Chains A and B, each alone.
Chain A
Amino acid sequence: MGMTQHAEPAVSSPPASGPGKVKDGRTSERPLALRLLARPEVGVFLGAVAVWVFFLIAAPPVRDGSSMANILYQSSTIGIMALPVALLMIGGEFDLSAGVAVITSALTASMFAFQLTLNVWAGVVVALLVSLAIGFLNGWLVVRTGLPSFLITLGTFLILQGVNLAVTKLVTGNVATDDISTMDGFDQAKKVFGSSFDVGGVQIKITIVYWLVFAAIATWVLLRTKYGNWVFAVGGNKDSARAVGVPVTFTKISLFMLVGFAAWFVGMHNLFSFNTVQSGEGVGQELIYISAAVIGGCLLTGGAGSAIGPVFGAFMFGMVQQGIVYANWNPDWFKAFLGVMLLGAVLINLWVSRTATRR
């Protein structure tokens, strides 16, 4: 992952971080295949294909269409969160509160609608406001204090974890929310956030569609808009970005709010798929989102990465996690297998990009 697409100095150049970058004369033109391999998402794509082919051979049930749909479903719930987490990382920050924020949103929607006996859509809207506010708070604190986002979001992570539990207990008297599946608007909301449709006899969960649509939008924004340039610029060098007129504060806060939006979305999926939410869930998920982004080629130092890379990163997570089960391996080794496969995939990814960038 060493040599990836780095931040352009944020001058008012046209969007130019796409593959067809104008050569700057310092290097001679290299073969297309090598230039392609040098892109972070190509490395992770090959890693994902390797893992996929491996399980196609090792686990016969994976060859079935409905198994693939199941793997993609698992990948999509990770992937929808991995996208904004990746954008945020390109922008030079990261968010440890992303895992519990999903549960905060689901709890808010459920309790607001249930306790006031409202149509569930009221809860959905309030949860969106709360999620965006959490994102705003994270971003605002990071920008205002200049402290590392690690510290700020570790703080909000702990706060949200405590608040999730304490408020749920206070409001419902239990640590899980009440079942809202009989309430007005539930079926409608379930259609939006948690339904599935039939493609050739295979049930496809709607989150897969959202995942790919969000990824396409994120890629377009990152590569073809001014905002995308700003994201690379603030992640590359905040001060020089500010010096050339990039609105650093706006960009960073909006990225955190984007994470909030995705947390709301996945939270709504959890709520409308499972009817109730336990307040202790979500802890540890933030690391999975961050891993998917890193495997997908986003640098922990910011300024580099893509939106399509994390799609393959999330797929790899889902593929390995479910592939182990389809292959019927000894479950005691489950986490160890997961770690080895992911490390292996990252190493392939690294090797590919090193080979490709070596002259």
Chain B
Amino acid sequence: MDRSSLSRSRRFAPAVALAAAAALTLAGCSSSSGGKKSEESADGASAGKATTPRMTIALVTHQSPGDTFWDIVRKGAQAAANKDNVKLVYSADPSAATQANLVQNAIDQKVDGIAITLAKPDALKDVVATAKKAGIPVVGLNSGVSDWQKLGLMEFFGQDESVAGEALGKRLNEAGAKSAVCVIQEQGNIGLTQRCDGVKKTFTGKLQTLNVNGTDMPSVKSTITAKLTQDKSIDYVVTLGAPFALTAVQSASDAGSKAKIATFDLNKDLTGAISKGTIEFAVDQQPYLQGYLAIDSLWLYKNNGNYMGGGEQPVLTGPAFVDKSNVDAVAAFAAKGTR
């Protein structure tokens, strides 16, 4: 075994990398356009700070790692926490059993309030009951609009996925669409399926669904291309997340299809695409608002005994449409990653 040469390369590798990086920086191979320098420093909304006693609130979601959408929810929650003098404890796991454990963990920490998502309500039933028994108020957000009252949650903030889908379907009718395809990036996800079902309910044209492998962009691109080639009559592609909408634009051009693109959910690249006109419109369920209201509501309950939605009705945060007519107002916030 040539250990000596190995240890030598090991010693030198970091140094070489560092030197290369430094050299590159100094050698003036800097970019004259784009990049960090062109990005303005941007902070989220801030509005003073409450003088109420410090409290701790746990936010437990079914986020899978690295998903842009949940990042925005968390930013909203953090903004409310900063303003309300709240310590925010965030945890997440896509598996319902683990999510339930994380809620139990929050109860054990004796937090002052818990906000949860109900992607799989049945799995969380017991742990919600435990929290109530321990006297901890629980609110729901994002998913579970039809189950939050059954589980005895205080309030709910989110979008009814079917309602959002129905709204998008109506919008397709107005746009004169005849045949659309609804692209599901995660096969078997309830919320995504509900969106497509909602579109189907109101859309008068023909609606098909298409499953793609959301963790592999090249595969998403070829699968949408394949669908547009297979069925030339498709005139609208509906995606259920911003990154997939941007990929669908490439697919349409690859397939030589004139299909237009509409999507659920926003990000900063998407707002650019809407103002350029490559994407028609997006349904925004305002994830920032969901996170913000969930935390703020628990603070209000503790300090003033308030119930948003009167404790009877969910507080709907969507569907808000973003299209060419209002994209400029939204774009600035999307650039900060809060919209």
Contacts and interface: CB of A to CB of B under 8 A. Distances in A.
Nearest to B218: A77
Interface in A145-174: 161-162, 164-165, 168-169, 173-174
B2 interface: yes
A65 to B, nearest CB: 11
Interface in B249-272: 250, 254-256, 267-269, 272
Contact of A282 (B68, B210, B216, B268): B216
B17 A322 contact: no
Contact of A176 (B16, B64, B243, B272): B243
Q: Indicate the member of B13, B38, B225, B256 with the most A CB atoms within 10 Å.
A: B225
Contacts of A105: none
Interface stretch (B22-30, B102-110, B161-169): B22-30
A181 B230 CA distance: 31
Contact of A335 (B38, B187, B222, B231): B187
Interface in B186-239: 187, 208-211, 213-219, 221-223, 225-227, 229-231
A61 B65 contact: no
A18 B227 CA distance: 42
Interface string A119-146: 1111001100110010010001000000
A113 B67 contact: no
B217 A119 contact: no
Nearest to A335: B187
B101 to A, nearest CB: 19
Q: Secondary structure at chain A's binding surface: helix, strand, loop or mixed? A: helix
Nearest to A179: B269
Contact of B223 (A126, A169, A322): A322
B67 A122 contact: no
Interface residues of B, number: 63
A61 B215 contact: no
Interface in A169-210: 169, 173-176, 178-186, 203
A280 B215 contact: yes
Contacts of B221: 273-274
B51 interface: no
B24 A118 contact: yes
Contacts of A77: 216, 218-219
A280 B65 contact: yes
A115 B20 contact: no
Interface of A: 59, 61, 64, 66-67, 70-71, 73-74, 77, 99, 112-122, 125-126, 129-130, 133, 136, 140, 161-162, 164-165, 168-169, 173-176, 178-186, 203, 247-250, 269-270, 273-276, 278-285, 288, 318, 321-322, 325-328, 331-332, 334-335
Shortest 5 CB-CB distances between A and B: which pairs? A280-B66, A117-B35, A183-B34, A182-B34, A279-B66
